[in-house]
């Protein structure tokens, strides 16, 4: 698999630039991303009390946008978000998406019911604002599919399945609903052939790429701190999955990003 792709413009649709891992060198991290062709990034706020700090990062750097919501693993620890609160945040010019939200029964199964309530709040905010929903789901495929499908029947909204590593049934449901699948470093791991097959079966115009940095660094950086520059390494594998050269895959996923994250579009 390719390790050093040629320089082409690409987007990191999901990273966490406010995390302590980047505190000492954020300007350098963003500079390295730009040098690798990653000209736009969406930094994700996972607890609403952190929103001011995440917003400040987006305001400080050209090409950096942000989203905010309550991560499902934090849903039981944080005050329940309200639709009005999320709508108010969405008025900021660099606020481009809602979440990440969703369901995680792998690490936090005991809070499943609270997670469901939180997810429905975020869905309503996406329906009201027209901004895309950013979904985290782990070991909760059936409930995630059911809640998203029910929400779409009530009122349509747009959505990306972030860091997709779930099963093929959830992938098909998401595609059928008009949603997007986002490819992370997981797709580069040798044992992730099933994940690559799921992406290969999806339409190219529904694919995004991301780092989820500082987590899930792709090969050949696996085990190290991830950062937005490494989007290019994941995209090199994505290009092979779709039988494209790197520049074509970068252009396609960037166009998909523009279509979904309209406030961050070129």
**Each residue's pLDDT tens digit, 211-220:** 999 999 999 9
Say whether pTM exceeds 0.75: yes
pLDDT for residue 5 is more than 70 = no
- Residues sharing a CB contact under 8 Å with residue 88, sequence separation 6 or more, in sequence order: none
Superfamily of domain 10-264: Metal-dependent hydrolases (3.20.20.140)
pLDDT for residue 136 is more than 70 = yes
> Is 106 annotated as ligand-binding?
no
pLDDT for residue 264 is more than 80 = yes
pLDDT at 7: 82
> Is 100 annotated as ligand-binding?
yes
**Mean pLDDT for the stretch of residues 136-156:** 98
> Is 136 annotated as ligand-binding?
yes
Spell out the domain ranges in the chain.
10-264
> Is 212 annotated as ligand-binding?
yes
């Amino acid at each position: 698999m390719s390790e050093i792709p040629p320089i082409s413009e690409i987007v990191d649709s999901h990273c966490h630039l406010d995390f302590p891992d980047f505190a000492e060198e954020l300007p350098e991290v963003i500079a390295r991303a730009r040098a690798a062709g990653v000209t736009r990034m969406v930094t994700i706020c996972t607890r609403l009390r952190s929103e001011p700090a995440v917003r400040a990062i987006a305001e400080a750097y050209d090409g950096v946008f942000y989203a905010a919501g309550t991560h499902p693993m934090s849903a039981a620890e944080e005050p329940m978000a309200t639709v009005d609160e999320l709508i108010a945040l969405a008025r900021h010019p660099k606020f481009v998406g809602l979440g990440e939200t969703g369901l995680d029964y792998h690490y936090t199964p005991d809070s499943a019911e609270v997670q469901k309530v939180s997810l429905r709040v975020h869905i309503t905010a996406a329906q009201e604002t027209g901004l895309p929903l950013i979904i985290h789901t782990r070991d909760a495929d059936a409930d995630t599919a059911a809640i998203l499908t029910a929400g779409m029947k009530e009122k349509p909204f747009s959505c990306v399945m972030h860091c997709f590593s779930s099963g093929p049934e959830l992938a098909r449901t998401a595609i059928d609903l008009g949603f997007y699948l986002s490819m992370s470093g997981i797709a580069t791991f040798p044992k992730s052939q099933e994940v690559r097959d799921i992406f290969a079966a999806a339409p190219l115009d529904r694919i995004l790429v991301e780092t989820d940095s500082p987590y899930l660094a792709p090969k050949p950086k696996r085990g190290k701190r991830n950062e937005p520059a490494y989007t290019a390494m994941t995209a090199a594998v994505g290009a092979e999955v779709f039988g494209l050269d790197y520049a074509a895959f970068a252009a396609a996923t960037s166009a998909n990003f523009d279509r979904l994250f309209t406030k961050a579009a070129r």
